[in-house]
Amino acid sequence: MAKFLFYISLTYFICFYIYFTLYSYSVLWFLYVKFFKWLGFAYFEKDFIKTIKKHNLFAISIFYYEKQKKE
């Protein structure tokens, strides 16, 4: 039983760490897209939008859409 609880808590910690990391670095993804758009590589933004539409629960996509609404 203790082994089972250990694995459950380890899984919970890993999932939380992944979510927190994505949420923390979502600003950098937004700046990455803006930088390449500024350089004239619009296809990076199209590819990024296509990717986040497939995974619209990620914090990156939520942050990106919030920034797009403000502009």
Best CA proximity match to 48, nearest among 66, 40, 36: 36
Whether 33 and 45 have beta carbons less than 8 Å apart is answered as yes
The C-alpha atoms of residue 60 and residue 24 are separated, in whole angstroms, by: 9
Q: What is the pLDDT of residue 32?
A: 73
Place of tokens 């979502």: 26
33: CB partners within 8 A, 6+ apart: 44, 45, 48, 64
Q: What is the pLDDT of residues 1-35, one digit of tens each?
A: 778 888 888 888 887 887 777 777 777 777 777 77
Q: What is the pLDDT of residue 25?
A: 74
Looking at residue 5, its amino acid is L
The full set of domain ranges for the chain reads 18-70
